[in-house]
Amino acid sequence: MRILVINAGSSSLKYQLFDMDCGTVLAKGICERIGIDGRVKHQGKTPYEAELPMGNHADAIRAVVGLLTSPETGVIAGMGEIDAIGHRVVHGGELFSESVLIDAAVIRAIEECVPLAPLHNPPNLIGIRACEEVMPGVPQVAVFDTAFHQTMPERAYLYAVPYDYYERLKVRRYGVHGTSHRYVSERAAKILGRTGLKVVTCHMGNGSSVAAVSDGASVDTSMGFTPLEGVPMGTRSGSIDPAVIEYLMKRENLSAAQVLDILNKKSGVLGVSGVSSDFRDLLAAFETNRRARNALELFTYHVKKTVGALAAAMGGCDALVFTAGIGENNPVIRGMVCSGLSFMGLTLDEELNKTAKGESVISTPDSRGKILVIPTNEELVIAEDTRRIAEKSTR
């Protein structure tokens, strides 16, 4: 069975074609500058990169199908070999706690969630409609970033604000990166060969979030109503006292939207360091630039504090997992997060941490809780959910 995974943004569209029978990625790529001019980078039979006019997302999907089926770059003989399509959808609100087969009612429900993710759900919907236009009749499945966290109990997802805002306006904590937290916590249980685990998962990339996963279910996470809450990130502030917003509006004569833009795009380690949002640049400047050092220390301090809080929420931590760009690749940052966590039974093995490659256990043999590095694979989760749901629907 061949599954096409689509992640549609406002002007970009990432894709991967999976052969689920061999468990391999046949081709992948990205269309960029959709609606502006159009550019594609494709890795298939042969790598291919070109300017390709794309007026809208349907043009981009047509370009992808062309690349997947052409004699030069292609990996399949025709569009008919694509059995199902899986879409990453950012926000499913309280309407979706798992992946679903897309039909008219599901599209309406995703539309209902647009106010909760005004920048993300509309392009996701455009991607779904573009696939329907270019490949009519092929089953499509939606996999939501928020779905995994729908198991959080009320005490974790409610804000302490008038209850009416929750009931009427759906103001609550939703959490993001659910597909990644789900994948790495499942892998941790498999690697350790145990069930009933209390796992804290640290997804540290451009955006960062930490989650508490107890026996396979998310019970709390650091991100909230939007991805702005929680630990500081590349350019996002993470949690701050909301009174700062009004203070900045008055003192700097800014609108609420302008302050939120600053908190989303000019804050985090970029704002503190003044150097970069990329952690590699901060590490390069660590010795010579005090503010770069401050930014790294602030980031790792908050991640560590959140790990402790989420372990307390579960009454323990059997495994701590690092994933995403920073978590998978950087031993220094992992080391900074883990320093001082031996009191709660998590002791890092410096050597294993330094040499970790791919899925690895990096705690000392006598550490009560295990520390792991697990590369995330959100596309694989989308492909597997899509296969399961599409097979059920055609049976």
Contact residues: ligand ADP, CB under 6 A:
205-207, 234, 278-280, 324-326, 329-330
The least CB distance from residue 156 to ligand ADP, in Å, is 23
CB neighbourhood size of 100 (10 A):
22
Nearest Cα neighbor of 376 from 58, 100, 88, 42 is 88
Nearest Cα neighbor of 256 from 266, 245, 264 is 245
Judged by beta carbon, residue 206 or residue 342, the one nearer ligand ADP is 206
Judged by beta carbon, residue 70 or residue 377, the one nearer ligand ADP is 377
The least CB distance from residue 277 to ligand ADP, in Å, is 6
**How far is the C-alpha of 145 from the C-alpha of 112, rounded, in Å?**
16
Judged by beta carbon, residue 318 or residue 378, the one nearer ligand ADP is 378
Judged by beta carbon, residue 123 or residue 234, the one nearer ligand ADP is 234
The least CB distance from residue 280 to ligand ADP, in Å, is 5
69 and 76 in contact (C-beta within 8 Å)?
Answer: yes
Token pair, residue 248, equals 């900045």
Burial 177-205 (b: 16+ CB within 10 A, else e): bbbbbbbbbebbbebeeeeebbbbbbbbb
The least CB distance from residue 393 to ligand ADP, in Å, is 30
How would you write 104-120 as a 3-class SS string? HHHHHHHHHCHHHCCCC
The least CB distance from residue 23 to ligand ADP, in Å, is 22
Token pair, residue 9, equals 């943004």
321 and 199 in contact (C-beta within 8 Å)?
Answer: yes
Q: What share of the chain is helix, strand, coil (3-state, %, to 5)?
A: 45, 20, 35
The residue from 37, 103, 145, 164 that is catalytic is: 145
Judged by beta carbon, residue 224 or residue 234, the one nearer ligand ADP is 234
- Whose CB is nearest to ligand ADP? 325
Active site residue 366: no
The least CB distance from residue 324 to ligand ADP, in Å, is 4
**How far is the C-alpha of 100 from the C-alpha of 141, rounded, in Å?**
6
175 and 223 in contact (C-beta within 8 Å)?
Answer: yes
50 and 39 in contact (C-beta within 8 Å)?
Answer: yes
First-to-last alpha carbon distance for the chain, in angstroms, is 14
Q: What phi, psi does 330 have (nearest 5°)?
A: -120, 105
Integer-rounded Cα Rg, in Å, for the chain is: 22
Judged by beta carbon, residue 110 or residue 326, the one nearer ligand ADP is 326
143 and 106 in contact (C-beta within 8 Å)?
Answer: no
The least CB distance from residue 203 to ligand ADP, in Å, is 8
| Strand, coil or helix: 168 | helix
CB neighbourhood size of 61 (10 A):
26
**Length of the chain as a residue count:** 395
Residues acting as catalytic residues: 145
